[in-house]
Amino acid sequence: MATKLNILSARAVKTIKQPGRHADGGNLYFKVDSDGSRRWVLFYRSQCKMKEMGLGGAKSVSLATAREIASKLREQLAAGIDPIEARNKARREAEAAEAAERGRLTFGKAAEDLIASKGAAWRNAKHRAQWQQTLSVLAADLTDRPVDAISTADILAVLKPIWTETPETAQRLRGRIESVLDFARCHGAMPLEAPNLARWKGHLEHMLPRASKLTRGHHSALPYADVPAFMVHLREQKGVGALALEFTILTAARSGEARGATWAEIDLDAGLWTIPASRMKGAREHRVPLSGRAVEVLREVRPLGGELVFPGLRGRPLSDMSLTAVLRRMGINVTVHGFRSSFRDWCGNETQVPREVAEAALAHALADKTEAAYRRSDALAKRAAFMAAWANYCTGAQEATPNVVPIRQVG
């Protein structure tokens, strides 16, 4: 049945006073707020979420104009384009162009300059890599924005998706954004009297949960015994986010490592993923042997093209929230990072894999000299065997793996 359009009349729009949404058809509504304000909005669904896009107030946008705008937006939706994302992208591009023309400093350039200025004080490359990772990936939506155009809402849009899921990372990110804005202000890109909108005390503390109320140090994990059933359900989910989550679990990688993976790091023929030091938490190259199923996932996403293995919107890496959203759709109340704990518990309880090899698979820093020796050689051959066993366990396969002996079979 065709959707009915053009329900409202121009007279009705002028006389409607009752608060609420008044449909004109095609998801276009004339909205009257309780305070008497009157405006046009378009409702639509994107990535399983309902969104409301404002089209302007009744005084500046007529009924005919609202219908014309809504028609163009519906065409975007039919083409698979999120209108709000498209509008935000156009705004960012316009601001970046204006910033370049006027010599205004962008957040991305300020971050680069700040990191360069701090480099001499850092004793190793780890700090530089961590700052670059958080600011260029987690704060990617701020990169092209002039520092003097960044609002509190922009900062919250970056922080809220990860504030409760990965609180320690989120708090570091907030502090680093604050440092970049302070750096920009000290270099004349913002008025000296302008407040730092990323500051915690007296500002963001009133909009985000306090750190003491967030979980620190531990991530809610799925018991490893439940992982095989979960994986069956996961493979029924659609989208790049679901495939990225499955790949993350199969490789026991950190979410950011998987979301930022590029095809230049992948050797499908050798079944090997080499993550450069610049993308690792410990600022050290990490090699990940890929199981058969992990390679299958990669082949599924290969036709998407581009540099990134799991591309998100505008060719950027998937956001941290993209993988979490998959879990929420499935009704699973755990964190993505928690699957590393599931993997580690499986190693300790179900296999005879040496502790140092399991820790090497997780790319954990190793202080013990014996463990460090394994880290230098990265125990790739041993890890290849038990990563295959982990994939077999996750997928319910029962193939024997020569270097991994389940404890329950040891007599």
Region of poorest pLDDT, from 44-58, 245-259, 323-337: 44-58
Instruction: Tell me what pLDDT residue 241 has.
Output: 93
- CA distance to 60, 282, 405, per residue, from 277 (Å): 53, 7, 32
Tell me, yes or no, whether 137 and 156 share the same domain: yes
Crossing angle between the packed helical segments 240-251 and 320-329, to the nearest 10 degrees? 100
Lowest mean per-residue pLDDT among 58-72, 174-188, 232-246, 352-366: 352-366
Q: Kindly list the distances between the CA atom of residue 307 and the CA atoms of 220, 265, 302, 318, 339, in Å, as whole numbers in the listed order.
A: 32, 10, 10, 13, 26
Domain around 322: 224-409
Same domain, 65 and 161: no
Alpha helices in 213-319 (DSSP H): 227-234, 240-251, 255-259, 292-301
Is the pLDDT confidence value at 5 over 60?
yes
- Tokens standing for 118? 């701090």
Q: How many domains does the chain have?
A: 3
pLDDT digits (tens, 9 = 90+) for 43-75: 988 777 788 899 998 888 999 999 999 999 999
In contact, 37 and 60? CB cutoff 8 Å: no
- Count Cα neighbours of 178 within 13 Å in the Cβ-side half-sphere: 16
Last residue of a domain, one of 167, 190, 213: 213
Residues 131 and 187 in one domain: yes
Report pLDDT for 42: 92
For the entire predicted model, the pTM comes to 0.50
pLDDT at position 65, please?
93
238 lies in the same domain as 371? yes
Please state the φ and ψ torsions of residue 80, each to the nearest 5 degrees: 85, 20
Contact between 136 and 108 under an 8 Å Cβ cutoff? The reply is yes
Hey, what are 44's tokens? 């639509």
Closest CA to 375 of 389, 358, 351, 352: 358
Quote the pLDDT of residue 248: 95
Give the Cα separation of 212 and 216 in Å (integer): 9
pLDDT at res. 358: 84
Number of Cβ within a 10 Å radius of residue 257: 20
Residue 1 domain flag:
no
For 346-372, write each residue's pLDDT tens digit: 988 888 888 888 888 888 765 554 444
CATH (domain of 45): 3.30.160.390
Which residues touch 146 (CB under 8 Å, ≥6 apart)? Answer: 95, 96, 98, 99, 104, 105, 106, 107, 189
> For residue 201, is pLDDT > 80?
yes
In degrees and rounded to multiples of 5, residue 105 shows phi and psi of -80, 130
Q: Which amino acid is at 224?
A: Y
Q: Cα dihedral sign for 35, 41, 44, 47? A: negative
Please state, for a pLDDT cut of 90, what percent of the chain lies above it.
Answer: 32
Q: Are residues 182 and 76 in the same domain?
A: no
Among 268-277, 288-297, 319-328, 338-347, the minimum mean pLDDT is found in 319-328
